Amino acid sequence: MNIWNSTFRSPGKPMTRSAWKKKAPKRRAGHNKGYLSACRGQQCWLQIQGVCMGPLGAATVVPAHSNQQRHGKGMGLKADDRYTVPACMSCHMWIDQGPADKHTKFAAWDRAYARWAAYRDRRAA
């Protein structure tokens, strides 16, 4: 017995699906690889007392973005890349998740940024 002779309809043409449209990758406003690469090979500039790994943490240094709204930080948004400071893993974790209040963290980050930005700009010139 042929099942298509029953009350079911013939399938006809197979269902066509449109190909998933590939979206262009999102580009963050203020993204600049130059500022990020300037942090490579640097020492930790945050140097939080009692937290910093010092010369032992040189291999863990990465750009630590500002957590301040005035620099573009928001819910689910990173600050502009120009607002980065080279930081060892321990100092970076302290800035992002440490127990200190935000004003203490902001002050520590601002001091490091003032020193780093001047050095970075002299080096780039």
pLDDT digits (tens, 9 = 90+) for 28-69: 667 888 888 889 889 999 999 999 999 999 999 999 999 999
Cα Rg of the chain (Å, integer): 26
> Cβ neighbours of residue 73 under 8 Å, at least 6 residues apart?
65, 66, 67, 79
16 vs 51, residue with greater confidence: 51
Q: How far, in Å, CA of 20 to CA of 5, rounded?
A: 36
Read off the pLDDT band of 122 (50, 70, 90): confident
Q: How far, in Å, CA of 98 to CA of 82, rounded?
A: 23
Read off the pLDDT band of 83 (50, 70, 90): very high
Q: What is the mean pLDDT of residues 18-32?
A: 68
- Could you tell me if residue 62 is inside a domain? yes
- Could you tell me if residue 10 is inside a domain? no
- Could you tell me if residue 20 is inside a domain? no
Tally the domains of the chain.
1
Q: What is the domain extent for residue 47?
A: 29-124
- Could you tell me if residue 12 is inside a domain? no
DSSP code, position 31: -
DSSP code, position 59: G
- Could you tell me if residue 107 is inside a domain? yes
Give the pLDDT of residue 44: 96
- Could you tell me if residue 119 is inside a domain? yes
- Could you tell me if residue 49 is inside a domain? yes
Q: What is the mean pLDDT of residues 19-31?
A: 68
Give the pLDDT of residue 30: 75
- Could you tell me if residue 2 is inside a domain? no
Ranges 23-37, 39-53, 78-92, 106-120: which has the least confidence: 23-37
Give the pLDDT of residue 60: 94
Q: How far is CA 92 from CA 29, 44, 81, 88, 107, in A?
A: 22, 9, 15, 6, 14
Assessment of whether the complete model's pTM goes beyond 0.85: no
34 vs 109, residue with greater confidence: 109
Amino acid code (one letter) for 81: D
